[in-house]
Amino acid sequence: MEISFIGAGNLAWHLAPALENAGHHINEVYSRQLQHTRQLVSYLYDARTHSDLNFADSPSQLFILAVPDDAIEAVCARLVLPENSILVHTSGSQSLRALQNWVTVYSDVPVQTGVFYALQTFSKGQSFMDFNEIPLCLEASDKETEDLLVKLGQDVSDIVYLITSAERRTLHLAAVFACNFTNHLLAIAHDLTTDNGLEFDLLQPIIRETIRKGLAASDPADVQTGPARRGDLTTIESHLAQLEQQPRLAEIYQIISENIQQRYIK
């Protein structure tokens, strides 16, 4: 399939090469950050930079919006696509209906719409990720577009699901807890150790075992441990005293501890 990318950030960095490796052709890449565009294009076979959002003469059939959620409408307002092309966004939280509405308002030609959401955390500049085990959550405005996106998804991943916008929003919310919040807690743990002259590496075995147990259990709640789980108020109060000079961390500690206690201690 002939494909163009609008956006050259974290997702595009990994998805564009994966699509090329699956036999598809990336024609063009557009980004407001020309340096980002050139960097991504340099890793693709023969893609070229595109200087604006007028793709009227593009040979591409599929246009992938890989931009932040709050930029999608603004891009759609300026985007010019070939007639009967397909425009998909990659957002976990924006609905398909929203994209359809923006296309209806802003496009002068008929355009099909869809969602191509990769349920993974991506960082630009890292080694290209293998998409085989990355869940792809798809949605489309019509059956023909749906079939095309499913085929495209199956070309790069072994895990392809058709889900609704509401289901995708729930998955995205869950992913924020499982991924973004977890990483933030690791960053807090890093600061607590290194700020006190300790090696963060000392925590790595317990971090690995915690993740291993949580993933192996039918319900991560079954393997919860710690002072809040066992109702150890003395230790909790001691920890809160240690955080007396860091009230925001104390607040996080207390909220999570109370939530754990509410789940387990009746």
Exposed/middle/buried for 141, CB within 10 Å: 0-12, 13-18, 19+? buried
pLDDT tens per residue, range 118-159: 999 999 878 888 999 999 999 999 999 999 999 999 999 999
- Would you tell me which CATH number, out of the four given (2.60.40.10, 1.10.3080.10, 3.30.540.10, 1.10.1040.20), belongs to the domain 169-264? 1.10.1040.20
Of 192, 178, 201, nearest to 250 by C-alpha is 192
Instruction: State the pLDDT at residue 115.
Output: 98
Q: 40 with 27: CB under 8 angstroms?
A: no
Whole-number Å distance between alpha carbons of 204 and 68? 32
CA distances from 90 to 94, 149, 168 (A): 9, 12, 11
**Residue 26 CB: number of other CB atoms within 10 A?**
25
Count Cβ atoms below 10 Å from residue 96 Cβ, excluding itself: 19
pLDDT of the residue at 75:
97
Residues 6+ apart with CB under 8 A from 32: none
Confidence class for position 13, pLDDT limits 50, 70, 90: very high
| Residue 197 region by backbone torsions, left for phi larger than 0, else alpha for psi between -120 and 50, else beta | left
- Residues whose CB is less than 8 angstroms from the CB of residue 3 and which lie 6 or more positions away in sequence, other chains included: 19, 24, 25, 26, 27, 60, 61, 62, 63, 64
C-alpha 83/C-alpha 56 separation (Å) is 8
Q: How far is residue 171 CA from its own chain's centroid?
A: 10
Domain boundaries, the chain: 2-163, 169-264
Q: Please, what is the average pLDDT of the chain?
A: 96
The larger pLDDT score, comparing residue 227 to residue 127, is at: 227
Q: Model pTM?
A: 0.93
Dist CA 266 CA 33 (whole Å): 54
Q: How far apart are CA 5 and CA 139, in angstroms?
A: 18
Top CATH class, 2-163: alpha beta
| Distance from C-alpha of 11 to C-alpha of 219, rounded to nearest angstrom | 30
What tens digit of pLDDT does each residue of 44-76 get? 999 999 999 999 999 999 999 999 999 999 999
Q: Nearest CA to 9 among 58, 76, 71?
A: 71
Q: What value does the mean pLDDT take over residues 98-125?
A: 96
